[in-house]
Amino acid sequence: MLVTLRHRLHETFVRWALRVRPPEPSPIILTQRRVYVLPTRAGLAYAMALGVILLGAMNYNLSLGHALVFLLAGLGIVAILHTFRNLVLIALRPGRCEPVFAGSPAQFALVLENRRPDARTSLRLFIGEQEPVEVDIEARTSRVATLGVPTTRRGWLPMPRVTIETTWPLGLVRAWSYAVPELDCLVYPAPAAKAPPLPWSGDSARGTTRDGRGADDFSGLRKHQPADAPRHVAWKAVARQQDGPLLTKLFAGASAQQIWLDWDALSGTTDGEQRLSILARWMLDADAAGLAWGLRLPALQLRPDNGPAQLAAGLRALALHDHGAH
């Protein structure tokens, strides 16, 4: 009950502290009204020690004791000012976030810009309970901080709230602020660990006009990959070797192999997410084998092709299946 109440109070404070509805437009500038300062445990112990010294100096009428207390108190006040100035007026801009597969951490890049003529030292950025990332920013320069966020499901993952803090230079006070940059990461469905073989039979596999790998002229051998058709295995070359690896014949011509990866071909799999995972595995296997492949989903169809652009388009379609466009 107490933990829940603390969490609610903290979230209420954060919503008030952000002062705008997230996500925030770029650039996000940490103005004076957005930077908050409180003493750390070391700062509280420092203040208590000053209080004890002051009581002793007053009790024994020690002039040097009073001077020491005032000197250390002034040092603490100056530390508050420097800690605050170390964070205020930093500008934050969203960077890039490359797509990842579900289960792998999303890497959000955040650009921190120091527009002042003095350096910013020992800034820490973190999301939730994740390990903080510490950065230093030289005068009038910018740095990129990359923050990892766990992923569990496919689709668009918005960047969570970021906390940026510092206790520089003495660690007596903590200055911090919050930011919610407008940055999303596309999360692909996790490829199935165990999937049926690529659909070679029926309409899924047929000849088409392609360049690079065909079925007309033999052009060489390469190491066998699981997605290669069994009829393309160079059995004679394998037989001449002792314990050698399987080899696949490459052909150059106009009749290359293409396959269709069809949602309806997995009708025996009732779970839609499992279908997407199998299709993702098929895409990766077909791409690794250099095959031209097409994709059929209930609301989308990709024409057969191969290469990085085709793979990215196919995985994106799987990630956003039934989610709509971003």
SS (H, E, C) the chain: CHHHHHHHHHHHHHHHHHCCCCCECCCEECCHHHCEEEECHHHHHHHHHHHHHHHHHHHHCCHHHHHHHHHHHHHHHHHHHHHHHHHCCEEEEECCCCCEECCCCEEEEEEEEECCCCCEEEEEEECCCCCCEEEEECCCCEEEEEEEECCCCCEEEECCCEEEEECCCCCCEEEEEEECECCEEEEECCCCCCCCCCCCCHHHEEEECCCCCCCCEEEEEEECCCCCCHHHECHHHHHCCCCCCCEEEEEECCCEEEEEEEHHHHCCCCCHHHHHHHHHHHHHHHHHCCCEEEEEECCEEEEEECCHHHHHHHHHHHHCCCCCCC
Identity (one letter) of the amino acid at 13?
Answer: F
Rounded average pLDDT over 108-113: 96
Which one is predicted more confidently, 19 or 42?
42
Rounded average pLDDT over 161-171: 95
Q: How confident is the model at residue 241 (pLDDT cuts 50, 70, 90)?
A: low
Rounded average pLDDT over 118-143: 94
Q: Give the lowest-confidence range in 55-64, 68-77, 152-161, 215-224.
A: 215-224
Which one is predicted more confidently, 50 or 15?
50
pLDDT value for 13: 80
For the chain, the average pLDDT equals 85
Q: Is the pLDDT of residue 253 over 50?
A: no
Distance, CA of 236 to CA of 231 (rounded, Å): 12
Rounded average pLDDT over 130-141: 95
Distance, CA of 54 to CA of 85 (rounded, Å): 29
pLDDT value for 9: 84
Q: How confident is the model at residue 257 (pLDDT cuts 50, 70, 90)?
A: low
Q: Give the lowest-confidence range in 7-11, 51-55, 125-129, 317-321.
A: 7-11
CATH of 8-188, one of 4.10.93.10, 3.30.360.10, 2.60.120.430, 2.60.40.10: 2.60.40.10
Q: Is the pLDDT of residue 209 over 50?
A: no
Which one is predicted more confidently, 268 or 85?
85
Q: Give the lowest-confidence range in 89-98, 231-240, 269-278.
A: 231-240
pLDDT value for 184: 95
Q: Is the pLDDT of residue 213 over 50?
A: no
Q: Where are the domains of the chain?
A: 8-188, 202-319
pLDDT value for 267: 77
Q: Is the pLDDT of residue 216 over 70?
A: no
pLDDT value for 204: 46
Rounded average pLDDT over 311-325: 87
Which one is predicted more confidently, 291 or 184?
184
Rounded average pLDDT over 94-99: 95
pLDDT value for 251: 57
Q: Is the pLDDT of residue 291 over 90?
A: no
Identity (one letter) of the amino acid at 103?
Answer: G
